[in-house]
């Protein structure tokens, strides 16, 4: 598994991360197998959130590996906060209490990366800054970032926050590409030309923020996976062609498509299936050509200008 640097933090991590949202559905034994399998295939970063399984996913993760300092130093743990029942909350009080809860559930003294989960329109950035300062100074959080934020929202935070915001977790897949579409359809009068995210792809590259694509196998917004989906026969035929050429699975090709982008993104893999994860991890060894990348982009339903 290749490595990348998260932002300009100096933190070297696997170029894919295991998303632990569904870990609450596993037994301790099965979760142990999933985590060990990820580490064996070079995936050393694990993505959590305080709301995943109502906190149970973090608990099972720690229990499954009998969390201790020697195990902890082998992994990079990221968690998120800010989503509550029916509203968003970036208040200092909630950020601090959320981190305390995650630390307790994860049985660790520190979080490597804390992300603000979804934008809170009632955010008071001074409170975020105060919370980040306290967490950094206490050693409870080492690095910070955001999730699902646009450039202007990030700039608002950066006006007050002293710490670098090193990552932004955003939805992206071969069949969900608005951040790419707008940059290819500049100055045109059709739907793909609409800039919906403030140019977050280019902003991230300019400001050294690592994009972490979530749901990398979804089409639409949680409409289902596109791999081996009968709705997309031509796409799956093309994935199969490149799959055979590279000796990897179709899912690995879908991830290799994301990894090929020079923005140096870090996909979040949500599978709890050990064989599937092992197959997907092989994407790290695949280098799609420029022609192959655009071929998949077009066959996924996109038209070039």
Active site residue 110: no
Contacts of 178 (CB under 8 A, 6+ apart): 192, 196, 197
Reported as type and span, the H/E element at residue 293 is: helix 290-299
Residues 6+ apart with CB under 8 A from 100: none
Which residues have C-beta within 8 Å of that of residue 144, sequence separation ≥ 6? 113, 114, 115, 132, 136, 161, 163, 164, 165, 166
Structural tokens at position 74 = 């082998």
> Quick one: three-class SS letters along 58-90?
HHHHHHHCCCCHHHHCCCEEEEEECEECCEECC
**Given 52, 203, 242, 297, the catalytic residue:** 52
Confirm if 54 and 83 have CB atoms less than 8 A apart. no
Could you tell me if 143 and 163 are in contact, meaning their C-beta atoms sit under 8 angstroms apart?
yes
Q: For residue 192, give both structure tokens.
A: 């793909």
- Strand pairing partners for 143? 113
Beta-carbon neighbour count of residue 247 at 10 Å?
A: 10
Could you list the active site residues?
A: 52
């Amino acid at each position: 598994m290749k490595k990348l640097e998260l932002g300009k933090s100096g933190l070297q991590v696997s170029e894919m991360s295991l998303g632990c949202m569904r870990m609450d559905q596993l037994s301790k034994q099965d979760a142990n197998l999933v985590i060990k399998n990820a580490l064996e295939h070079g995936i050393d970063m694990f993505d959590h959130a305080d709301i995943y399984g109502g906190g149970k996913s973090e608990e099972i993760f720690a229990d499954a590996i009998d969390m201790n300092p020697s195990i902890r130093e082998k992994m990079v743990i990221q968690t998120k906060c800010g989503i509550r029942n029916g509203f968003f909350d970036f208040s200092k009080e909630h950020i601090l209490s959320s981190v305390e809860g995650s630390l307790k559930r994860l049985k660790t003294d520190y979080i490597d990366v804390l992300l603000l989960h979804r934008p809170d329109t009632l955010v008071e950035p001074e409170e975020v800054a105060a919370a980040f300062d306290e967490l950094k100074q206490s050693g409870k959080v080492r690095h910070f970032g955001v999730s699902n934020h646009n450039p202007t929202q990030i700039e608002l935070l950066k006006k007050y926050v002293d710490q670098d915001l090193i990552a932004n977790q955003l939805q992206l897949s071969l069949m969900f590409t608005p951040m790419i579409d707008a940059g290819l359809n500049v100055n045109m009068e059709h739907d793909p030309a609409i800039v919906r995210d403030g140019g977050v792809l280019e902003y991230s590259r300019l400001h050294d923020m690592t994009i972490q694509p979530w749901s990398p196998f979804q089409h639409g917004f949680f409409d289902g996976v596109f791999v081996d989906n009968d709705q997309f026969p031509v796409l799956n035929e093309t994935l199969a062609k490149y799959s055979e050429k590279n000796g990897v699975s179709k899912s690995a090709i879908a991830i290799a498509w994301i990894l090929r982008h020079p923005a140096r993104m870090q996909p979040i893999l949500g599978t709890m299936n050990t064989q599937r994860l092992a197959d997907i991890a092989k994407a790290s060894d695949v280098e799609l050509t420029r022609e192959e990348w655009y071929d998949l982009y077009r066959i996924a339903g996109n038209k070039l200008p």
